[in-house]
Amino acid sequence: MQVLVVDAANVVGARPDGWWKDRAGAARRLHEALMTADLPHDEVVLVLEGKAKGGHRAGRDGHVRTVHAAADGDAAIVEATRDAVATGARVTVVTADRFLRARVEGAGALSVGPTWLWDQI
């Protein structure tokens, strides 16, 4: 099982396309792109926080599971990573946040930057 955990705020923020004017819309577009992307992962976990949570409801749509962070997105990303690693899954986390990358790598995941994901979708 391969799981991809996506730091939506960080991925959306990597492209200066006006996302800051409509965070919910940017989250919705990312979700739609992940739904149709040809990724080698069995499950994609999209973590939304703040106003971006208005872009898509929490829950599962096919292979994409959207998580609404209760407090901060980093904590939800680490929790999703640990949960997936605990099941024996190979986990990759998409973020450019160096501190977060260190945390998820410490939990047993690989990490890649947002450019990798944008190139895939």
pLDDT tens per residue, range 12-47 = 988 878 777 889 999 999 999 999 999 999 999 999
Residues 6+ apart with CB under 8 A from 72: 49
pLDDT band (50, 70, 90) for residue 67: very high
Token reading at 67: 């998580």
Report if pTM > 0.85: yes
Q: Which residues pair with 3 in a beta bridge?
A: 43, 91
Q: 96 near 9, Cβ under 8 Å?
A: no
Give the pLDDT of residue 14: 87
Give the pLDDT of residue 31: 97
Q: Which domains does the chain have, with CATH numbers?
A: 2-120 (3.40.50.1010)
